[in-house]
Amino acid sequence: MTRQSWSHKADDRSVFKLWILSGAALLCCALGLAAASSQFAYELEVASRPIFLFVAGYMMAGAVFLAVAWFLVPRSLTATNPLSLLMLMIGFGLAMRVVLFGSVPVQENDYYRYLWDGALTAHGINPWAYSPQAIIDGSVVDPTIVMLKAQAGPVLERINYGDLRSIYPAVSQAAFALAYTIKPFSLEAWRGVLLVLELVTLGLVLSVLSSLNRPLIWSCLYWWNPIVIKEVMNSSHMEPALMVPLLAALVLCIKARPVAASCVAGLAVAAKVWPVLILPAIWRPLLQQPTRLVAAVASAGLLVLALYWPIIATQLDQSSGFVAFSTGWERISASFLILTATASMIPQFLLEPGSLARLMAAALIVITVLLSNRKPVAGPADTVQRFLIAASAMLLLSPVQLPWYFIWIAPFLCVFPYRGLLLMTLTFPLYYAFFKLTAVGVDEAWLLGLVWAMWLPVWMVLAFDWWTGKQQEPDTPVLPAAT
């Protein structure tokens, strides 16, 4: 055996050891989260919970992940046994998820709404018709709803924003109903559904990477991401129900099946509204094929209309979650602070600053998406980048910016791992510090400073990479090969 082959074997062994150490470190973080989660039980006062310790551990996991993304992955691209490395990575990522079964969701309670909506949907009741508070007050006399109210235990009373009717569209409701069918009002049944959806998401990410001839190990940028793992398997957010049809539409686009991709994208829009922003990327290649364009637009439009009709048929007033979210919600968004400050300097003829800022944010998002689709699609990687731009614009410019929204862009970072976007893995955990600071009555100026601590590093790195031209063209790998 030559000295060079011995050297390659030694390098492979060291790389495998680093992967094992990194995976073990992230698995320990997941185990620590599971063990400490009991201190975040619903009944405990927020001020007494070890939130700062949790934030520190969350950020530590983010730092390990960034080390893997920025240093270990490039060293692994020349591994002589990539399949073994991939299996090792997938196994660790699966273990990180499994150990979170049975954990208490840390500072999150959205899942109560999912469990209740799933019960209504499984029984054929319109989940957008009644607010939880109306049911608690006894103003709803439907016998099935009364029966579910008695069975729900604490679920109904613990729903956040109980005075609002559900904001989750039909595809999300189908996932909730599936969990109810497995076991009524069970968080663990819902987590089982999420785990299956996550495995499907991983399969779709691997399919995209394979189609682009990219190393499959890049899928670790999704599968090992601490935000994805915590916000899905511990917090139990519904984002995988959105990501499966979204990524399936991308796979169909790469396979040059835009009409089918439009239909599947319609399912993504029926999981959450914002994926309507990816439709221009699907339809752009059809501008010279008017018949297929009409078929794609019509199929997606009719499907979305059919799936949203039960929502439209209810009264869209301030008790609707859709109306309340689009007109009034704002959370930890530095970009929206800038837009609101800008709007306040404009004479108030028709709109107050908050509403004008929302219109400005919506306009910026739409303009960004349209500009990204102004040129013909250069290839499959260009399509991926257009999906990423749409999701990133929604995340970075929205009035509401929450950690689980990062999941919208995480799969696309496996193809374009931009440093500024990956940096959110380190900064987003600061969001949870707001709960502690608010509970102990910290001055609002400190809370404002925390918003900038979260977002300023992200914007600075994105701006720096754009200014220096370090980000590569769509068909060029972003992570350098190991030397």
CA 138, 139, 144, 149 torsion-angle sign: negative
* pLDDT value at residue 5: 45
- The 10 Å Cβ neighbour count of residue 447 is 14
| Stretches in the chain below the pLDDT threshold 50 | 1-8, 10, 471, 473-483
The two three-digit tokens of residue 335, written as one number: 């970009």
The one-letter code for the residue type at 311 is: I
* CB 430, CB 266: distance < 8 Å: no
Q: Looking at residue 402, what is its pLDDT?
A: 94
CA-nearest of 430, 423, 354, 362 to 397 is 362
Q: What is the pLDDT of residue 28?
A: 97
Interatomic CA distance for residues 396 and 421, integer angstroms: 10
What integer pLDDT is reported at residue 478 of this predicted model? 45
pLDDT value for 345: 86
- Whole-number Å distance between alpha carbons of 121 and 130: 12
Please count the CA atoms within 13 angstroms of the CA of 35 that sit on its side-chain side: 8
In the prediction, which pLDDT does 479 show? 44
Whole-number pLDDT of residue 7: 45
What is the structure's pLDDT at 448?
87
pLDDT value of residue 9: 52
Give the burial class of 481: count Cβ atoms within 10 A of its Cβ; 0-12 exposed, 13-18 middle, 19 or more buried.
exposed
Over residues 350-372, the pLDDT tens digits come to: 778 888 999 999 999 999 999 99
Cβ–Cβ under 8 Å, residues 42 and 111? no
Task: Report DSSP letters for 410-448, one per residue.
Answer: GGGGGTS--HHHHTHHHHGGGGGHHHHHHHTT--HHHHH
The pLDDT, as a whole number, for residue 329 is 76
Helices (H), 105-257: 110-122, 132-136, 143-151, 170-182, 187-211, 220-223, 226-229, 239-254
The encoded tokens of residue 401 equal 């910016």
pLDDT digits (tens, 9 = 90+) for 39-62: 999 999 999 999 999 999 999 999
pTM of the model: 0.93
